[in-house]
Amino acid sequence: MAGSLNKVLLIGNLGKDPETTHFEGGGIKVKFSLATSENYTNRNNEKVSQTEWHNIVVSRKGLAEVCEKYLKKGHKVFLEGRIRSRQWTDDSNQTRYITEILVDNMTMLTGREEAQHAQERQQGGSGYTPPPQQANQPVSKQDEDNDFNLSHHDDDLPF
């Protein structure tokens, strides 16, 4: 195979609200941390949860503005991008290193209603708002199964 590939696919939750920097000339950069978790059972039959933290950078103009406007701590997103490592010298003349994910595409996985509940919980509310009642709309089996969350599902698959 000729060439190389630098591609990252992540599904995780924001660890904090995005931080936005606006530049002269209309440029924008949004940064946030993203947590990805792996849950498995080890050889001693103990449940283990391992969390990795990723430094996310979004500088694509339209996408960065969407991140700034809609993303909040705890929201779940699917990100596509590439990995970049860089170094700099801090104020105390120490060389520092960072690895970042430069995002090209994003899909928000937290629904609008779920995001509203999360925001209410952060502001001290109960976080619960009863769903609107709609007449003559039966509840489907799929609606009942929407509470199934793969992150809580343990399996023996190696991937």
In a domain, 153, yes or no: no
Number of domains in the chain: 1
Helical (H) or strand (E) element with 67: helix 61-70
What are the angstrom distances between the C-alpha of 76 and each of 6, 17, 55, 112, 134?
23, 12, 15, 11, 28
Range with lowest mean pLDDT among 2-6, 10-14, 146-150: 146-150
Q: Is pLDDT at 126 greater than 50 in this prediction?
A: no
First to last CA, the chain: 24
Please check whether residue 37 is in contact with residue 151, taking contact to mean a CB–CB distance below 8 angstroms.
Answer: yes
How high is the pLDDT of residue 112? 73
Please check whether residue 118 is in contact with residue 74, taking contact to mean a CB–CB distance below 8 angstroms.
Answer: yes
In a domain, 135, yes or no: no
In a domain, 136, yes or no: no
- Cβ contacts of residue 61 below 8 Å, gap of 6+? 26, 27, 28
In a domain, 29, yes or no: yes
Mean pLDDT within 107-113: 85
In a domain, 149, yes or no: no
In a domain, 57, yes or no: yes
Encode pLDDT of 44-85 as tens digits: 999 999 999 999 999 998 999 999 999 999 999 999 999 999
Q: pTM value? A: 0.69
CATH number of domain containing 75: 2.40.50.140
Cα–Cα distance between 111 and 119 in angstroms, integer?
Answer: 12
In a domain, 46, yes or no: yes
Enclosing domain of residue 88: 8-129
* Structure-token pair, residue 144: 């009942």
Encode pLDDT of 89-104 as tens digits: 999 999 999 999 999 9
- Give the mean pLDDT of the chain: 82
In a domain, 35, yes or no: yes
Give the number of other CB atoms < 10 A from CB of residue 22: 11
How high is the pLDDT of residue 140? 45
